Amino acid sequence: MTLTITNIKRVGSDKTESVTIENGLIKGWNLPAEGQTIDGQGGTLAPALIELHAHLREPGQTEKEDLASGLAAAAAGGYGTVVCMPNTRPVIDDPALVRSLIEKADGLGFARLKPAAAVTRGEKGEHLTEMSYLKDAGAVMFTDDGLTNENARVLRLGMEYARSLNMVISVHAEDDALRAGGVMNEGAVSEELGLPGNPAAAAAARVARDMEIVALTGARLHVQHLSTARELDIVRDAKRRGLPVTCEVCPHHLDLTDESLRTFDAMYKVAPPLRTRQDADYLLEGLLDGSVDCIATDHAPHTRAEKERDLLEAPSGIAYIEIAFPIMWTRFGERLGLEKLLDLMTAGPARVMGWPLPSLEAGSPADVVVLDLDTEREVNPAEFRSKAKFTPWQGQMLKGWPLLTVVNGRVAYRREP
């Protein structure tokens, strides 16, 4: 299949060009148009985004999301590759399940799926999974995300096993006993509202423990969704020590704060919780100075009925994978710059995983996105491909919307003019 995208600009250039894609690869730039031709509407062509942390809920919770809706939403958000978390029902801890998810996703024609598999069977924190067989089946990461790894010895053994396979282990770093039943950040706002708080120390204490396990094992560890300044300081120290540690930050921990919980709206309930503006600003500095390796969304869809429960009962999670780039570009594009932001959402995740870096050069895989960096559009959740058609950003005006996403040379998403 041959596809030519015309009327586009490369990142860092104002020159209008065209790119030709053939057999899943970039054939070249400014060649005579061949095959299907798509007008890029003056947008900016970039490598497709890479998501290392999304909950697609299949199998077992498809009333919240499934592969078709989740991967379609990802493609609409400009993502070409999505790593899905294993806290499904059943847990993704069986090689046959990994293979079946990949096979199903390949047939959908949206974003590419790369499953993460559990560290422990059933994510129960007791017995390790057969990591070697899971890797052979296509798992790209190991994590018990959704649950915290409370037993340090089991995590140590899992990290040693993963190291032998040259694989990354990813952790949701919160101390379960310290976070207890906290539904929001512990601080002035939680005290004023009379809501049980989740202290920053719950995250920092667990990150500090896990850094010592990295030092003990030499295994690669990726820390999910940093939410506090203290966590970032601990990760910075680990990196100065030469430990093989990476970390991510989510847009919601940058753009939203615990002040949002004054509404008592469970839409703002996430784990780890929204922290203070001081924490959010500190994490942004971590993006700027390179301490934070990448941006991930922790896309976590739930049903509207679940999120309409009170704060004590509602599940944690926000679903917004299709507006993640517009949020980041609108709110932080001026500070970060386009090339830095794209690096955090493309090459950054690839470096974490040890994958080839995305490129727009001839011969590179044809995973690309065309972005409209200038036009503001209102966020309308009714248009979401995700089943979670509600969002904290409803009605806000954002720019940076994907116009076209191509995955493996195929059109995975196209916004109608």
Active site residues: 298
Kind and range of the H or E element at 124?
Answer: none
CB 412 within 8 A of CB 406: yes
d(CA 144, CA 349): 19
Q: Which of 214, 216, 235, 211 lies closest to 225 in space, CA to CA?
A: 235
Quote the DSSP letter at residue 128.
B
Q: Which of 408, 409, 398, 353 lies closest to 77 in space, CA to CA?
A: 398
Which residue matches tokens 């990290």? Answer: 159
Q: Which of 275, 179, 185, 177 lies closest to 232 in space, CA to CA?
A: 275
Q: Name the β-bridge partners of 128.
A: 120
CB 24 within 8 A of CB 366: yes
Phi-psi region of 373 (alpha: psi -120 to 50; beta: other; left: phi over 0): alpha
Structure tokens at 80: 């070409």
Quote the DSSP letter at residue 321.
G
The three-state secondary structure class of 277 is helix
CB 229 within 8 A of CB 172: no
One-letter amino acid for residue 229 of the chain:
A
Q: Which of 316, 276, 55, 308 lies closest to 183 in space, CA to CA?
A: 316
Q: Which of 415, 337, 336 lies closest to 377 in space, CA to CA?
A: 415
Dump the DSSP string for 324-384. HHHHHHHHHHHHH-HHHHHHHHTHHHHHHHTPPPP--STTSB--EEEEE-S--EE--GGG-
d(CA 134, CA 132): 5
Q: Where are the beta strands (DSSP E) in 14-144?
A: 16-22, 25-29, 36-39, 44-47, 49-54, 79-84, 112-117, 141-143
Structure tokens at 404: 């076209």
Q: Name the β-bridge partners of 53.
A: none
Distance of CA 86 to the CA centre of its chain: 14
